[in-house]
Every structure is written in structure tokens, then in C-alpha cells.
Amino acid sequence: MPEFRLTQISDTHLARRFTRLTENFARVAEHIGADRPDLVVNTGDLAFDAPTGKTDLEFAKELHDALPVPVRHLPGNHDIGDNPTEVGEAPKQPVSEAHRQNFCALIGEDRWQFEAAGWRFIGLNSLVMNSGLAIDAEQFDWLAGELSGANGKPIALFLHKPLFLDLPDDPETIGTAIRYVPQPARQRLIGMIGRADVRLVASGHVHQRRDFTYRHTRHVWAPSASFILSDKRQERIGIKETGLVEYRFQPNSFEVRHVKAAGQVDIDLDELFANPKG
């Protein structure tokens, strides 16, 4: 029976100046080298902060290129800037077409589709959603075609930002957008997912591990491969640890394993700032 093994890493936040984060990536790379999945997907925030650290994305690319298996990437807010929201302040580093094109030129496509083991896999750029950029509408048109063209194959969707906490109409999440895909794009995306056979939505961004099922879709939040945020900085809504996620896809089914690479350390961001080199 064909099987496709995919390892999701996320929020690697690489920068040459933060050697402790590079060490965590090295532990992840060793794990991947021993396990040899068919594909690694990084669901965004490859760079520590590309909008302010010009070489961070180049450094992230160097390390990802050295992985011994094929890799696909998706942008995070620290790679191309963040989404504007309907309410609240504009993000300090808003997403822009120039940032997006820089990502595409250096790293590769910011959205993609492929098929393996009887599944259709779709990767989305969640940061352009609600941005008003032409690419936002274009991506939604493209997604509609990719969902309807699955020809009965189950679909696994990858993107940086999760869709919601527990339910689409959670009072805690409905109006906010820093943590989730912003409204009204979120509602549109949830509607499209609900009408298609999307069995998995795999995200990153929050730096907390979560795994739950809503209707026919399993939502997996990959932890950061790199660092965690203290309770002072961020409320605890999942498991605060560094790690990665391993998937095994077979026609019509899949398995999920929550993993931590040997030697991967739960570095706290505040502690990192105080002591960047350890």
C-alpha cells in the first residue's frame, strides 16, 4: 500500500545571531536525517524576523537547503509581514507584495499543490488574506479550483495561521486575528473547507502544540521548532514545548505523531534575548 511520510516543522525563526536557535534546528535536522521522511514542510516563520533582519531569510534558506530530504515552505508573518485586521491596530510590519516576492525569489512558491498516496496536499499563504493585495483574491480563486479538482481524493491543507481555537464561532476567537486567519477571509476559508473533503488543517504560528477535530477535519497546530513564549507574554491554550509533527498518509487514512527531536531544548524567548548565544 502506498504510504507518504511527511514531517511538519514550523516557526524555526532562524537568524545567524541566535546560535541557540540554530542548535535546535540542528537537532531537528539530525532527527529528519535519521527518519528520512518523503517530504518536510515548514509552515512559516522560517526567519527570526525577515522584515527587520535582512539576512535572516537567507540564513534560513541555507539551513533548509542542507536538509537531506525534499522541503516545501510556506511564509509566516516573520517572513513577509502580517495581515491587517478589520478591527484593532495595523500590524507593525504589514504584509506587502514586495516582501512576498522577496520570499518567492529566495525560498520558492508561497502556495503549492501536489498529490501523493491518494491524497491532495495544498499549501496556502495565509498572510496575504484580508490584505487587499491582488494576490489575495487570486489565491482564493486558485484554491476553489484546487479543492473542486481533487477528484474524490481527501485533502490535507497547510498554512501558517490556524483558523480558530476550538470552534469557528468561539467568542474568544471570532473577532480577533493576530493569532488566527483574519475575518472575513477566515469565514470564507472555513466555508470552502466545509464543502470539500478536507481531513487535515496543519498550521503553526502560535508556538503551542494542539490537536483537535472539528466535524470531519483534524486541526493540528505544530509547535515551534525553535522557542516558546512565557505565560507572561502569551496565554497558555495548548502545550508549550518545542518539537515537530510526523504524518503518515495512506489512501483514505492518516496518522499523526507528536514528536520532539532528541536534544531539542524549550528555549524561552525572554531568556534568549537575555542570553542569545547561551
Residues that bind Fe ion (CB under 5 A): 11, 45, 76-77, 205
Smallest separation, CB 197 to Fe ion (Å): 28
* Min separation Cβ 44 and Fe ion, Å: 6
Taking alpha carbons only, the member of 5, 247, 71, 253 closest to residue 153 is 253
Nearer to Fe ion, 48 or 254 (CB): 48
For the bound state, the minimum distance from the C-beta of residue 241 to Fe ion, rounded and expressed in Å, comes to 14
What burial class does residue 104 get, using C-beta atoms within 10 Å of its C-beta: 0-12 exposed, 13-18 middle, 19+ buried? middle
Straight-line distance from the first to the last Cα atom of the chain, in angstroms, rounded to the nearest whole number: 46
Please choose, from the candidates 17, 68, 9, 39, the residue with its C-alpha nearest in 3D space to the C-alpha of residue 273.
17
Closest CB to Fe ion among 12 and 183? 12
User: In terms of CB distance, is 52 or 148 closer to Fe ion?
Assistant: 52
Backbone angles phi, psi at 115, to 5 degrees: -125, 145
- Contact call for residues 100 and 77 (beta carbons, < 8 A): no
Helix (H) or strand (E) holding 173: none
- In the complex, what is the shortest distance from the CB of residue 79 to Fe ion, in angstroms, rounded to a whole number? 9
> 4-19: b or e for each residue (b if 16 or more CB lie within 10 Å)?
bbbbbbbbbbbbeebe
Closest separation in Å from C-beta 230 to Fe ion: 15
Q: Closest approach of Cβ 109 to Fe ion, in Å?
A: 19
Quick one: 37 or 81, whose CB is closer to Fe ion? 81
Q: Which is nearer to Fe ion, 77 or 183 (CB)?
A: 77
Note the maximum CA span of the chain: 53
Which CB sits closer to Fe ion, 127 or 193?
A: 127
